[in-house]
Structure 1
Amino acid sequence: MFEDRPDREEVVLVGRSNVGKSTLMRELTGHSKFTTGQKPGVTRSPNHFDWVSENFMFTDLPGFGFMSGVEEEHREQIKTDLVRYIESNADDVLAAVLVVDGKSVIDIIDRHSGPDEIPHDVELFHFLWDLEVPTIVAVNKMDKVDDRDERLDDLCDRLGLHPPWKQWRETIAPISAKRGDIDALNEALRTQFHEQKRDDLLKFVS
């Protein structure tokens, strides 16, 4: 399911199931074809939205972690495929957007932290950094968070970034995709496009 990739540079969206990646994809592209649902795991294979003339695409990769009605073996395979996809195409990835649920991400990270366990979100963040893929953490559903700055500082701490979060605006982007509030992410993507001399793509994140 990961083989039919168009030959383009891309921005990839990654993250756990049910954090709002497909909703964010709709906001980024202005296109309503992306399936969203209440159940985790609606996206099972990469969704590409490409602009041939610019040799560019946004890609919504399948979510990892718990998925309703999906056996663990298949969930692990999706994660393996996801890692392989990013490794294979790292040279063409202009930026990776790691989408997390601002309301629950700290609890999830803490629940899965231990001597023998690294939380998926933290593992993926460092995996992307190790590949030298520019990584932006889109902290979604922030409209449901009261202690905004404290929550974002805690997330920086868990990811190994020194708080306060405001010094990481190119990396930490608080958003509410469902409400169409993705300005912080667009700003971070504009910075990445400009640094990589792809100002022709700025129109997609204006």
Structure 2
Amino acid sequence: MFESRPDRSDEVIFVGRSNVGKSTLMREITGHTFDTGSKPGVTRSPNHYDWASDDFVLSDLPGFGFMSGVPEEQREQIKTDIVRYIEDNADDILVGVLVVDGKSAVDIIDRHSGEDEIPYDVEMFYFLRDVGIPVVVAVNKMDKVDDEDERLDELCDRLGLHPPWKQWQDTIAPISAKRGNIDALNEAVKEHLHEAKRDDLLKFFS
């Protein structure tokens, strides 16, 4: 299922739990509607969006974490597939966008933080960094959050980044995909593309 990657040299990937709004975000960035299926966990293989003229692909990887009606074994398999995909393609991935739900991310992380448990989102954040991929955390659904700065500071704290969040604007990007407000994400991604000397790709994130 994961072998269908288009033959493109450079890639930006989107990862995140189910139901954080990745598909809405992809639609906002690409102007293209993906067939996502109505139930969480329906997207089992990556959706690749490649622009024909450029050596570049955007990949929306399947949602991970708890999914209602999906057995744990299958959830673990999806996570394993995602990790393997990222490891296999790490040298070609220019940016990894980790999409989280601004309203619930901190609570979910706290709920799954224990002696022998690392929350998926934190684990994925560090995994991407460990394999050398610059990470941007797209904090979605911020239109539903009352105190934006406080929430983003808390999220930074959970990810091991020292608050205030505003010093991490190349890493933390508050957005509301449904409302079309994704400027912070575009700016952060563009900064990493520029550092990777791929200014030719900036036009996709404008």
Q: Do the two structures share a fold, i.e. TM-score over 0.5?
A: yes
**Greater CA deviation, 89-98 or 6-15?**
6-15
Q: Is the 8 A contact 1:61 1:82 kept in 2?
A: yes
1:28-107 matched pairs, under 5 angstroms: 28-35=29-36, 37=38, 39-107=39-107
Query: Which whole-Å CA distance do the structure 2 matches of 1:13 and 1:202 have between them?
Result: 17
Q: How far is 1:99 from its partner?
A: 0.2
Report what 1:18 is aligned to: 19
Query: Which whole-Å CA distance do the structure 2 matches of 1:44 and 1:144 have between them?
Result: 28
Show structure 1 runs of 4+ deviating over 4 A: none
Query: Which whole-Å CA distance do the structure 1 matches of 2:78 and 2:191 have between them?
Result: 30
Deviations 1:49-108 (A, max 9, x none): 001321101100001011232111011000000000000000010100000000000000
Query: Which whole-Å CA distance do the structure 2 matches of 1:31 and 1:183 have between them?
Result: 18
Deviations 1:163-200 (A, max 9, x none): 00000000000000011100000000111111111111
Q: Is the 8 A contact 2:23 2:34 kept in 1?
A: no
Across the aligned residues of Structure 1 and Structure 2, the Cα RMSD in angstroms comes to 1.0
Report what 2:137 is aligned to: 137
Query: Which whole-Å CA distance do the structure 2 matches of 1:138 and 1:31 have between them?
Result: 19
Q: Is the 8 A contact 2:20 2:100 kept in 1?
A: yes
**3-state SS of paired residue (2:53):** helix
- Output the TM-score relative to the length of structure 2: 0.97
Report what 1:198 is aligned to: 198
Query: Which whole-Å CA distance do the structure 2 matches of 1:20 and 1:41 have between them?
Result: 13
Q: How far is 1:4 from its partner?
A: 1.3
Q: Is the 8 A contact 1:12 1:59 kept in 2?
A: yes
Q: How far is 1:36 from its partner?
A: 5.9
Which amino acid in the other structure matches residue 118 of structure 1? I
Deviations 1:124-145 (A, max 9, x none): 1000111110100000000000
Query: Which whole-Å CA distance do the structure 1 matches of 2:71 and 2:205 have between them?
Result: 37
**Greater CA deviation, 40-49 or 120-129?**
40-49
- Output the TM-score relative to the length of structure 1: 0.97
Which amino acid in the other structure matches residue 12 of structure 2? V
Q: Which runs of 5+ in 2 are unaligned?
A: none
Q: Is the 8 A contact 1:18 1:41 kept in 2?
A: no
**Greater CA deviation, 88-97 or 52-61?**
52-61
